[in-house]
């Protein structure tokens, strides 16, 4: 997966916005103003930071050399994933979905309802 495919997939999800809150090279994706993915656009190969369940984070890091502790992020809740390389696109999409869903799950029930995630 290249960075454009990553960007397109993130933006295809409900209520996602993109911004550059830190600098002009760190692209951040948010769902309802909560960050779920970011990438340094000058990194080659492309790497992204994705939120992850702490137990799953450990498993992924042990299983894949291209998934490491989140760079400049909480090492417990974030992974840095090399998206240009050995990982299959569908698997990267699953990791993006997991990150997105964790953020949505962390919202209040009222927010989830207002945004149409629950009825």
Per-residue pLDDT at 115:
83
Please report which confidence band the pLDDT of residue 114 belongs to, taking 50, 70 and 90 as the band edges.
confident
C-alpha span between 55 and 1 (Å, rounded): 25
78-96 pLDDT, tens digit each: 999 999 989 999 999 999 9
On whether the CB atoms of residues 85 and 8 are closer than 8 A, the answer is no
Q: pTM higher than 0.85, yes or no?
A: yes
Fold observed for domain 3-114: 3.90.1150
* Nearest residue to 49 via CA among 35, 60, 63: 35
Per-residue pLDDT band at 33 (split at 50, 70, 90): very high
Domain boundaries, the chain: 3-114
């Amino acid at each position: 997966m290249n960075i454009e495919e990553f960007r397109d997939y993130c933006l295809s999800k409900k209520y996602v916005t993109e911004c550059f809150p830190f600098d002009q090279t760190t692209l951040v994706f948010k769902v309802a103003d909560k960050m779920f993915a970011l990438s340094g656009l000058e990194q080659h190969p492309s790497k992204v930071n994705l939120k992850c369940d702490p137990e799953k984070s450990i498993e992924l890091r042990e299983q894949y050399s291209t998934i490491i502790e989140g760079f400049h992020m909480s090492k417990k809740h974030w992974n840095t994933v090399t998206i240009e390389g050995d990982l299959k696109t569908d698997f990267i999409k699953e990791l993006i979905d997991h990150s997105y869903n964790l953020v949505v799950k962390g919202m209040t029930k009222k927010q989830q309802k207002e945004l149409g995630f629950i009825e």
